[in-house]
Structure 1
């Protein structure tokens, strides 16, 4: 089985070429006519708007039986669910609260899934955050995009893994896909040499409006590099999917500056951005079309893609190990190391 870490390192001499090919030349891989999710249960985070909402719709369109909308605002989630129920009245659609700024909320969500769900087949960890200025999460002390895009997403993944293994259909693995980004291929990650690493990523003076987002997504690739040594594809298939640059997702809602800047950003989205339907199809491809061969893969343009070159180097492997250890230390309160070790049993 060939995951992304077994591919030749990605070579990106000129990132705009990658962006152009990914946005305009890649061919979508839609589910086949025989794709049918009847009887299956799926969880989608950040699913009241944008790509999460569209991914949920596409799952329902494949006759998904039970959908969990995992959202921060239950009120907004219920509004989204009511729209979905009108179109797909046969499906059971529940709205569960999860606040990715709160470790207590994440733990409560995972416990609820374990107690209340008899079956879980698909998890799409779509929820994310892009900030254009430094913000700290008071409850954890971490920089906000680092918190949501990496730490909270990975904690939820770790907590759900044993649940997914226990509640998968006999003889068939559960699927988890994590929202990733082609921008990781262009990450500078200038603070990667810091030990410990996480405090450097939290420091206000180190915040970079462009690179901090990229680094958060890169860290998830680093974590997956090690995780596949513990998680069998026979139990849970875990991959990362890049939806590319998608318009209409409120990505730039925090963008400060003149109306001209915001207008230009919006026009760029209209010209170059994928539709939410096309972007979300990358998630659906990852959990419906792709099988065990995608375990440990970074999926870009609907196919397995190598990780950024750094991860294959001696320096990158040392940083990857540091990320692994600091992540498990961060989540010692939740028994993260034990939960991951249990996946080998």
Structure 2
């Protein structure tokens, strides 16, 4: 595999269709911009369609021939997820790439429209439901991939408590809840890959951006925001570099299902994208299956695999 993989290594994407959640800003925007510039038809699935239209305008300004559309998707509402999936299914006979990128981070304790803890509901359950509702548009498409964006935080005070996924019995921790949601992203990827392995050319892959300069940090506690801002040039990387692990997971021909990509630098904070390892809990098959069953029950969405 290429050691210093960059956006210039993204293969020609003409003829491919990509759906990118949270694509109006940050990692999602940079991912969508590169895919569109390489010829993919890209759908920006976003909560704020006005911001999405502005993002689409920036993409087409840089690449006038880019094929970019905007669709409304609010991952905090299963009704919105279902409506978005219905609209996408009606307009897209095939999907080559589904990039589950959107997310929230370190939010105060609150719930989604369906009563789910906000970080789990947005980062995992919303994407779980969206993937299940769109997967049949991918299962016969050679080279199709579901790429889910996780985080280094999957190993930071993170655990999957199947008896208290919604933090109703524990004292709420912003950090712990975010870590749980990012650990869930990985467990979802690995369980989905196991289900896909012998039945479809579609594969499931995960990625993380390291420490990237995006809007996500806005909900962090004061000391974290202060530290990151003070040392930002030394420990983080811009959003376009943070998008590279996602782009590699989505487009590198050498990628295999069940792999995980992140920066290769010190503690995976920054650097060129390479295959990396996730923690032991992420590979716990009992927890993977338990989370899957709980996610199906909570969302009411079952998968065609």
TM value normalised by structure 2:
0.87
Of the two structures, which has the highest relative contact order with CA contacts closer than 8 Å and spacing of 6 or more?
Answer: 1
For residues 226 and 135 of structure 2, the distance between their equivalents in structure 1, rounded to whole angstroms, comes to: 42
Structure 2 CA distance for partners of 1:140 and 1:283, relative to 1, 3 Å? same
Structure 2 CA distance for partners of 1:156 and 1:270, relative to 1, 3 Å? same
Does residue 326 of structure 1 match 2:300?
no
Q: 1:160: how far off?
A: 1.5
Task: Indicate the residue corresponding to 1:225 in structure 2.
Answer: 190
Q: How does 1:151-162 map to 2 (within 5 A)?
A: 151-162=125-136
Structure 2 CA distance for partners of 1:206 and 1:159, relative to 1, 3 Å? farther
Task: Indicate the residue corresponding to 2:69 in structure 1.
Answer: 94
Task: Indicate the residue corresponding to 1:117 in structure 2.
Answer: 92
The structure with more radius of gyration: 1
Q: Which runs of 4+ in 1 moved over 6 A?
A: none
Q: 1:255: how far off?
A: 3.7
For residues 261 and 304 of structure 1, the distance between their equivalents in structure 2, rounded to whole angstroms, comes to: 27
Does residue 196 of structure 1 match 2:168?
no
Unaligned segments of structure 2, at least 5 residues: 264-272
RMSD of aligned Cα (Å):
2.4
For residues 282 and 9 of structure 2, the distance between their equivalents in structure 1, rounded to whole angstroms, comes to: 38
Task: Indicate the residue corresponding to 1:297 in structure 2.
Answer: 259
Task: Indicate the residue corresponding to 1:19 in structure 2.
Answer: none
What's the CA shift string for 1:199-226, capped at 9, x where partnerless? xx33274321222111111112222332
What's the CA shift string for 1:52-97, capped at 9, x where partnerless? 1111111123232x11111101111111111111121112211100
Structure 2 CA distance for partners of 1:211 and 1:38, relative to 1, 3 Å? same
TM value normalised by structure 1:
0.78
For residues 245 and 28 of structure 1, the distance between their equivalents in structure 2, rounded to whole angstroms, comes to: 18
For residues 38 and 318 of structure 1, the distance between their equivalents in structure 2, rounded to whole angstroms, comes to: 40
Task: Indicate the residue corresponding to 1:9 in structure 2.
Answer: none
Q: How does 1:2-13 map to 2 (within 5 A)?
A: none
How many residues align structurally? 294
Task: Indicate the residue corresponding to 2:176 in structure 1.
Answer: 211
Find 2:104's aligned residue among 126, 129, 142. 129
Aligned residues of 1:143 and 1:202 also touching (Cα < 8 A): yes
Q: How does 1:38-77 map to 2 (within 5 A)?
A: 38-64=14-40, 66-77=41-52
Unaligned segments of structure 1, at least 5 residues: 1-25
Aligned residues of 1:31 and 1:289 also touching (Cα < 8 A): no
Aligned residues of 1:31 and 1:288 also touching (Cα < 8 A): no
SS of the equivalent of 1:202 reads coil
Aligned residues of 2:246 and 2:261 also touching (Cα < 8 A): no
Q: 1:145: how far off?
A: 0.8
Aligned residues of 1:46 and 1:70 also touching (Cα < 8 A): yes
Task: Indicate the residue corresponding to 2:277 in structure 1.
Answer: 306
Structure 2 CA distance for partners of 1:274 and 1:108, relative to 1, 3 Å? same
